[in-house]
A and B are shown apart, each in its own frame.
Chain A
Amino acid sequence: MNDSNPKKPGPDGADEGNGPEGAKKAPQGAEPPVAAPTTPTDGKTSVSGAASKGAPKVPEKSGKPSSAPGKSGAAGAPVAKKMAKSSAPEPAYTLSYSPHVRRRISVQSIMVDVLVALLPATLVGLYQFGWYGLVVILLCVGGCLGVEAVGQKMMGQKVTVSDGSAAVTGLLLALSLPPRAEWWLCAIGALAGIGLGKLVFGGLGYNPFNPAILARVVLLISFPAQMTSFVTPSPWGLDAVTTATPLNLLQEARIRGLGLGEAAHTDLLAAFLGGIPGSLGETSALAVLLGGLYLLWRGHINWDVPVGMLGTMALVSGLFWWHDPAHYMPPAFHLVTGGAMLVAFFMATDMVTSPLTRKGRVIFAVGCGLLTIVIRMWGGYAEAISFAVLLMNAAVPIIDRYTAPRLYGARKRGGL
């Protein structure tokens, strides 16, 4: 009897709209608005609406499942609205693709953890350089959030500053600037980092370079004087005197052919704990290390990048130092000075701009370490590590290409 029923599309359409495809089809399938209750004479066509009991059963069953949105059918999820059109007032359960459970971790929570991890370095910086450090931080963070919001508005995109990634970039930028950085330095840094480093590539996830490092390099090249004007740390920054960092001293001595110069007398323990001149958040290697360990513990970064990078730096600089200690600094010097710790734990580990697999990340980390030492020893910039990571960022796509995971059941290893 069903096959000969001319009204068949009606009830059928109303009954079969389950699953993602079905949900889409339901509205069109229901063109003849024949609701199940209006077909008491041939209620049997409505298959799942028990034929013997006919129409009255339909509303009963739709109201059945507990307190779900119920007969109105339109109260629940967006799906419910679609279903309502199909004239079958079914209770609305959310339809979505599997899996139906998820690990409770989001981009936002990762970014918040990164900010928390930067707290020790930030506090040490504020203690050593005083209230102006806070101004630098606020300018950089505010600048980055502002550039991202305005930029996304201008490009007609959804504003996503709430994901926290711009705030992380801002804080990292602030921590890598000289403690007395002028306001415009911060502003240009924010513009370069978020604008040039992130938005032009399509926003979070598509940037090939770490935005904070890109900003720092842009500033280093454009404003070398301002970017190398440092002060001595002192409680709350009260007794600050203009000075140079150990890396700057080494650089200068090397260029003038004076061997190691004053850098040879660097107090390495002070450099580790935080008593030597440097960028706002880079004076205390210990504070940065603490934050890095926190991120490792939380599982947001992998040990391979920091260990590979710092290990390579130590190994290569150690070889030279062992060979000729009069002309090369010991490995410990390279690990505790400059941005070594901050970059190794917070910037080189940037998920977006580092390789996808462990094998790739090790290659990337070794490359970063090697380039850092090469530039520090023979290059023209004291802040070698930023250039090193930037260069390796550019190599990530090719690294990824040759370090794909082994495919289950594939005979060949690696490659695509």
Chain B
Amino acid sequence: MIRRFRSFFGGIHPQYRKELSATGAIETLPLPDQVVVPLLQHIGKPAEPVVKVGDTVRTGQVVGTASGVVSVSVHATLSGTVTGIATIAHPSGREVKGVVIESDGADNWIDLEPCEEWPSLPPQAVRERVSAAGIAGLGGATFPTHVKLSPPEARPVDTLIVNGVECEPYLTADHRLMLEHTGQVVAGAVLVSRVLGVSRVIFGIEDNKPDAVQAIEAEIRRVAGSSAGFEVPVTVGVLPTKYPQGGEKQLIAVLTGHEVPSGGLPVDVGVVVHNVGTCAAVFDAVRHGRPLVERVVTVTGEGLKRPGNVRVRLGTPARLLVEHFGGMVGEVGKVVFGGPMMGVAQYNLEVPVIKGTSGILIIPRDHIDTDDIRPCIRCSACIEVCPIGLLPNMISVCAEMRAFGESEQYHPFDCIECGCCSYVCPSYRPLVQMIRFAKTEVQHLKAKH
């Protein structure tokens, strides 16, 4: 049942620093006085606000409804009064509207509709409950989960991959979740596997988390045979620790041997990947009727006094999390939402935690490089680490010379923006940024014609 797999091509071995927070059991943050719930916490269209300023809301009440298929609802994460609906600071740096809720301190929940018979719930009912709960992929990409639970008829899905890799350095939220909420994770995976009607399930976990591998495996065995167990073969895949092992494309290639076609989706090779956190949220939604109002966040970094993991209500400003863990130490250079490889730098601490916020990383000033960008010396380090097989240096040179048409022959759209190339570049070139620049400009060019 536990099986070791080989690694993918390319990739890097950064300093993981997971030991900073890996042993910190998930704490619970005291309820904040106020939350700012962004109406866009997922990929797709923002939710439409359905409350007015002055309205009283209960915890779990819908404050924004999904607008269209690729969109998800957002819920009040506190009970209290809506005091504003306005453009807010958003972790993505985009202009996003959000609902400000002032807490009444009571955390008065809506009437939840638990479902004792969850294992026998028909797929459509599960999808509806997931959709109502406003779940988006908690691994960070935040794609609406109910969409991933409804694959097109023409493309049958035979494999569910449960992503517990957590390859981003520093982050340990998924690790702790697998250890402390193993039951939810596995039960959620059971639900998802039934909805998708897959013929096999594979968990993917890196070998730097042997305890999580054991826990998941034991739980699968515990529920096996019962109505809450898997009906299809399950494998717990142990993967060599290498970044970006948790990238969807890398994970699929390693676990199934199939590569997602260039420009295609995992469904094209009959695979759907769900994060362990998402599985736990699916279980909560289906079993307890609980909407997604909180998540586990790793708060860590050398600039933080006491790194750890914490369960917080969505919309809580980063400041409260940092304060909870003893505040910052020394001169802080960067505050990053997410991990160090793909996270987004923030300019202040008022930014709220959203569905995709897996971590808050505090980087001391003296850890930041501010060296000049130098020309590419064709050392090919970026090519050796690119897990997609791109020539990142060539795309960057094209972008630099604004030869965007030229850049297209180097497949910029296949880039998964994992950051391995920028990480190794001895000329300190911001390769990911340049590739993204090329992508946007090529799209503009195409739009014009």
User: What residues make up the interface of A, taking CB atoms closer than 8 Å to B?
Assistant: 1-3, 8, 12, 15-23, 44-45, 47-52, 61-62, 64-68, 79, 83, 90-103, 105-107, 109-110, 160, 163, 165, 203-206, 351-354, 356-357, 404-411, 416
Contacts and interface: CB of A to CB of B under 8 A. Distances in A.
B389 A99 contact: no
B36 A47 contact: yes
Contact of A93 (B90, B332, B338): B332
Nearest to A52: B102
Contact of B374 (A66, A107, A357): A107
- Name the residue among A103, A109, A352 with the largest chain B CB count within 10 angstroms: A103
A93 B376 contact: no
Nearest to B247: A408
A21 B347 CA distance: 12
B377 A351 contact: yes
Interface of B: 12, 14-15, 33-34, 36, 53, 83-95, 98, 100, 102, 169, 249, 253, 259-264, 317, 319, 322, 327-336, 338, 340-351, 361, 363, 365, 367-369, 371, 374-380, 383, 386-391, 393-394, 409-411, 414, 417, 419, 422-428, 430, 432-433
23 contacts: A19-B90, A22-B93, A47-B84, A47-B86, A48-B317, A65-B332, A65-B335, A67-B331, A90-B347, A96-B334, A97-B430, A98-B417, A99-B341, A100-B334, A100-B363, A102-B425, A107-B426, A163-B374, A408-B262, A408-B387, A408-B389, A409-B260, A416-B409
B319 A408 contact: no
Contacts of A165: 377
Contact of A16 (B87, B102, B419): B87
A304 B259 CA distance: 28
A193 to B, nearest CB: 17
A65 B328 contact: yes
- Name the residue among A61, A92, A356 with the largest chain B CB count within 10 angstroms: A356
A99 B419 contact: yes
A95 B433 CA distance: 13
Contact of B83 (A21, A51, A351, A357): A51
- 6 closest cross-chain pairs (CB), A and B: A19-B93, A99-B419, A66-B328, A205-B375, A405-B389, A48-B350
Nearest to A19: B93
Contacts of A204: 374-375, 377
B389 A102 contact: no
B89 A48 contact: yes
B86 A2 contact: yes
Given A19-B92, A19-B93, A99-B419, A409 B375 contact: no
A408 B259 contact: yes
A44 B374 contact: no
A203 B427 CA distance: 14
B391 A404 contact: yes
Contacts of B411: 407
Contact of A94 (B259, B345, B427): B345
A66 B304 CA distance: 10
B347 A15 contact: no
Given A65-B349, A101-B169, 10 more contacts: A48-B350, A98-B419, A99-B342, A99-B419, A101-B340, A107-B427, A205-B375, A205-B427, A408-B260, A410-B389
A73 B373 CA distance: 26
A61 B319 contact: yes
Contacts of A100: 334, 336, 340-341, 343, 345, 361, 363, 368
A51 B84 contact: yes
A205 to B, nearest CB: 4
Given A12-B87, A356-B391, A351 B350 contact: no
B379 A351 contact: yes
A178 to B, nearest CB: 30
A416 B347 CA distance: 40
Contacts of A92: 347
Contact of B371 (A1, A91, A106, A351): A106
Contacts of B424: 103, 105
Contacts of A103: 12, 14, 423-424
A98 B262 CA distance: 24
A246 to B, nearest CB: 35
Contacts of A47: 36, 84, 86-89, 98, 100
Contacts of B377: 107, 165, 204-205, 351-352
Given A101-B169, A408-B249, A356 B383 contact: yes
Contacts of A17: 347
A47 B93 CA distance: 16
Contacts of B346: 18-19, 93, 95
A98 B341 contact: yes
Nearest to B269: A409
A94 B334 contact: yes
Given A100-B361, A105-B426, A109-B426, A406 B340 contact: no
A41 to B, nearest CB: 15
Contacts of B93: 18-22
A332 to B, nearest CB: 32
- Name the residue among B86, B100, B427 with the largest chain A CB count within 10 angstroms: B86
B426 A52 contact: no
Contacts of B387: 408
Contacts of A109: 426
A102 B368 CA distance: 9
Contacts of B33: 50, 52
A98 B347 contact: no
Nearest to B437: A97
A26 to B, nearest CB: 9
Contacts of A50: 33-34
Contacts of A93: 332-335, 345-348
Contacts of B88: 15-16, 47-48
Contacts of A206: 375
Nearest to A300: B379
A66 B330 contact: yes
A98 B432 contact: yes
A196 to B, nearest CB: 19
A409 B262 CA distance: 5
Contacts of A3: 85
- Name the residue among A3, A47, A92 with the largest chain B CB count within 10 angstroms: A47
Contacts of A409: 249, 259-264, 388, 414
Nearest to B249: A408
A68 B334 contact: no
Contacts of B36: 47-48
B378 A356 contact: yes
B427 A357 contact: no
B344 A98 contact: yes
